[in-house]
Amino acid sequence: MSHNDRDWLDVYRAAVMEFDRDKLPTSIESAEKAIHRRLRGLPIAKCKEHRELKDALNSLAVLKRML
């Protein structure tokens, strides 16, 4: 797996660690876009990463509801 394959993870981590409520919506949106980009480029055989991506999207959805 290349570093580019996990770029979504850096953006996701930045979003969940964002403490500035004014910046949080933008951070969440960036993470969601990065995750969806990775999902589109992910081979079906990569089930573990697919689950990780879906879990990350679910976590972001919870975070958005808390805003």
Mind listing the pLDDT tens digit for each residue in 24-37?
999 999 999 999 99
Q: Which amino acid is at 6?
A: R
pLDDT in tens, 1-27: 455 678 999 999 999 999 999 999 999
Q: Is the pLDDT at 52 greater than 70, yes or no? A: yes
pLDDT in tens, 41-51: 888 766 888 99
Q: For the chain, give every domain's residue range.
A: 3-65
DSSP 43: -
- 11 contacts 30 by C-beta, under 8 angstroms: yes
pTM of the model: 0.87
| Alpha helices, DSSP H, located in the chain | 7-16, 24-41, 47-65
What percentage of the chain carries pLDDT values higher than 70?
Answer: 91
